[in-house]
Structure 1
């Protein structure tokens, strides 16, 4: 059996979808009020109709046309994912539980950020946050297993410029996709540095909590649930589980490794705030810890200081032609993700610096909408992803009007599509070799998808 590409133009589809939404993505079940039924099964792993419909909705949301064949492609990718999970179980491939919890923490933080309060989140979903988290955990573990298997299968695949050119030339000229307006945007970030007085207040508070624990007045877990500002581990009594060396931020890990089992540390500062850490157990190259995280609060005066600093940066790059914005941002901007790219945001799907409006933060898009290309905004207060108060300058470097795909302007997108195509071929070959080791059932409703013949 071969996982067919059907008669659709796969090259065109990959190019439109960037990283390849159909390229064996990890679709997650829709948790609504749909009456589900099983559309496929691989050993003990099932695929629900809601998973298939969620993947198809994601495909349509990217501007693609309705297609029965596309839905078959999505079902194929879901089946392949389940085969990878089943095969990982056979081969005793185990993902790191610390990574699973970390990814789950991020997913939960992003989900909660969409609601004005935790109570509203629980009202909308009809379940507590802990229940929602427990329900999501198996999906997150399965997704990480699929990612691990995919990396193993495709890690040695690369793409040459000749392959990119050949791929592009095989797309009919009248079928080349049309890309919307894209932007190149950078930022220079300065955090609103908290005062020493505020930092001391946090340290003293954590030391008081440690005293309560040592006197037997409270447990570490109870205080973490009450006070920790880590939304993930706080709900679990501060527990991070076993994590390999090199997984945690250096400040945290160094302190944790210096502790004896059950010992509680002094407060230690990391980029996330102050941690009070308890070492639970060492096991080979792993440590099991719990912590209470507290973040010093900035004041209006702290923000004014950050804005004054950015004013001087802005004046410098505008008035001194010898100063390079990218070098300045790389060395001094306090957002590590954009600073490493010389201030620029990168396309989350295909890499590169050109980003469409829907991929930009809405606040940034509305800011550049009032700016001219090549100009710098005034310093603007905002909150970073971890909630830290900061200010930033937005640099509107360039704008690319809507256009039909071409090699000069869209090389990175085309290269990503080629890589995804080659990855898919490798995954198909792996599927052919592995499918005999697992049981696969597909509902007769989808027999025309030809997944099993």
Structure 2
């Protein structure tokens, strides 16, 4: 056993060493071209190593050569990128810059300093940033192009039923435990005071910028609670129609260089600086703050919720009636506090078809609901939790109590009980088939060159080798 382990390790080390030497020799060798984009041997090698590591971490093996799998994946990305350019697909450039800055900062933190990072990669940091920007941009265009293709696909009930019946009974998916629950939420009574404190903080920042004591972008980096903080609060040029109504009205009234008064939007409180306006596009910076409460204010809220829970435990009031009378959550209080994905759909997925009230464990990882799960797993059906602190979808602090209504045990999927889950699976299956068909047609119509060294490799899509 020990000899076998050592031998395997030696083979691995030798292969890594040979691969490293080969990469040095073949660093700039082009092994494939798709449209106007070339693929280097070093890119394929790097991606193949990532695939091998991914397989190891996920505990599965594959008979497929990782180099060929990596090459096909990169060729697919290049084709999507080129087609996105042809179709004039738009992407969020601001999100790309944020991702680049986040990764650069992680790399700097890992190495200990910018100079050490530059020494390791043998290039100045601005060159590294540009390489990362190009990678993220290409990936963003490719992802957006793929979305353009698959988002046109839909399924009807008959297709869902046929998909379900096509699955062998012993291969039907297992649906994990699902939770049905209700909630009562309370924001601190001092919300008015907290909002005023937030306004005063922003007014102070505004004054510091106007008087030249601070730079807007520096304050944004230090204090803004928006994802744009890392870029000094700067947003890509955006039409007013893509902004919160109150935010847009304030922005529309500014001249370049001007800073707005404090604006309250659905996301919190802002000050905005207009940088430039070109046609209907507004280029601006902003600082976002959420109301923050003192520990005493939060404790008072929890005490109030615990009092409500105590009344429910004593049968002085039902949970449903308490939700109607006391809950601050408008989307659930009229339905006995029953939690659904209604608010998520309304805000982020307006075209979604149906509201669900059954949540898998992984569903709680979205939109600040993990504290709900941690409370629910301590309960039996019908029990009510103690009060706990959490945040709403917009990261505003609040208190909450929850009632576990039902736990639907893990079971084999059935058409009647799990239609929405099966609909999602049927849609995914149809989207995959539609994308493969689209990809084959685009490969046939686009210039593709593959180095002879790789032409005899295994490709899932046989259209690559012409």
Shared fold per TM-score greater than 0.5: yes
Q: TM-score, normalized by length of structure 1?
A: 0.70
Match of 1:80 among 76, 83, 86: 76
CA distance in 2, matches of 1:331, 1:388: 15
Q: Which residue is 2:377 aligned to?
A: 369
Q: Which residue is 1:298 aligned to?
A: 293
Match of 2:210 among 174, 198, 214: 214
CA distance in 2, matches of 1:40, 1:127: 36
- Higher RCO (C-alpha under 8 Å, 6+ residues apart): 1
Q: Does residue 89 of the first structure (1) align with residue 90 of the second (2)? A: no
User: Which moves more between the two structures, 376-385 or 93-102?
Assistant: 93-102
User: Which moves more between the two structures, 213-222 or 54-63?
Assistant: 54-63
Q: Does residue 44 of the first structure (1) align with residue 43 of the second (2)? A: no
CA distance in 1, matches of 2:253, 2:411: 58
CA distance in 1, matches of 2:399, 2:109: 34
Q: Which residue is 2:388 aligned to?
A: 380
Instruction: Describe the shift of the 1:84–1:165 C-alpha distance in structure 2 as closer, same or farther (beyond 3 A).
Output: same
Q: Does residue 287 of the first structure (1) align with residue 291 of the second (2)? A: no
Write the mapping of 1:19-418 to structure 2, written as runs, cut at 5 A. 42=34, 43-44=36-37, 46=39, 48-51=44-47, 66-68=61-63, 79-98=75-94, 100=96, 104=99, 123-124=109-110, 137-192=133-188, 194=190, 196-225=192-221, 227-230=222-225, 232-311=227-306, 314=309, 315=311, 319-320=317-318, 323=321, 331=330, 341=341, 352-361=356-365, 363-383=371-391, 388-418=396-426
- Work out whether residues 185 and 399 of structure 2, in 8 Å CA contact, stay in contact via their aligned partners in 1: yes
- Work out whether residues 188 and 343 of structure 1, in 8 Å CA contact, stay in contact via their aligned partners in 2: no
User: Secondary structure of 1:397's partner?
Assistant: strand
Q: RMSD of the alignment, in Å?
A: 4.6
User: Secondary structure of 2:241's partner?
Assistant: coil
CA distance in 2, matches of 1:373, 1:56: 44
User: Which moves more between the two structures, 182-191 or 249-258?
Assistant: 182-191
Q: Which residue is 1:449 aligned to?
A: 459
Instruction: Describe the shift of the 1:256–1:48 C-alpha distance in structure 2 as closer, same or farther (beyond 3 A).
Output: farther
Match of 2:448 among 416, 439, 451: 439
CA shift at 1:70, angstroms? 11
- Work out whether residues 357 and 365 of structure 1, in 8 Å CA contact, stay in contact via their aligned partners in 2: yes
CA distance in 2, matches of 1:303, 1:202: 16
Q: Which has the higher helix share?
A: 2
- Work out whether residues 282 and 288 of structure 1, in 8 Å CA contact, stay in contact via their aligned partners in 2: yes
Q: Which residue is 2:427 aligned to?
A: 419
User: Secondary structure of 2:250's partner?
Assistant: helix
Q: Which residue is 2:6 aligned to?
A: none
CA shift at 1:290, angstroms? 0.9
CA shift at 1:364, angstroms? 3.8
Q: Deviations over 1:145-193 (max 9, x none)?
A: 2343234323332212222222222222223343433333454443346
- Work out whether residues 186 and 344 of structure 1, in 8 Å CA contact, stay in contact via their aligned partners in 2: no
CA shift at 1:78, angstroms? 5.4
- Work out whether residues 159 and 426 of structure 2, in 8 Å CA contact, stay in contact via their aligned partners in 1: yes
CA shift at 1:242, angstroms? 1.0
- Segments of structure 2 that go 5 or more residues without pairing to the other structure are 1-18, 118-124
CA shift at 1:53, angstroms? 5.9
Instruction: Describe the shift of the 1:159–1:78 C-alpha distance in structure 2 as closer, same or farther (beyond 3 A).
Output: farther
Q: Deviations over 1:170-220 (max 9, x none)?
A: 222223343433333454443346555554444334333333333334432
CA distance in 2, matches of 1:223, 1:244: 25
CA distance in 1, matches of 2:339, 2:409: 26
Q: Deviations over 1:44-83 (max 9, x none)?
A: 26464554565677688778x5444697888756543331
Larger-Rg structure: 2
- Work out whether residues 179 and 406 of structure 2, in 8 Å CA contact, stay in contact via their aligned partners in 1: yes
User: Secondary structure of 2:404's partner?
Assistant: strand
User: Secondary structure of 2:458's partner?
Assistant: helix
- Segments of structure 1 that go 5 or more residues without pairing to the other structure are 1-33, 113-117
User: Secondary structure of 2:402's partner?
Assistant: strand
Corresponding pairs, count:
403
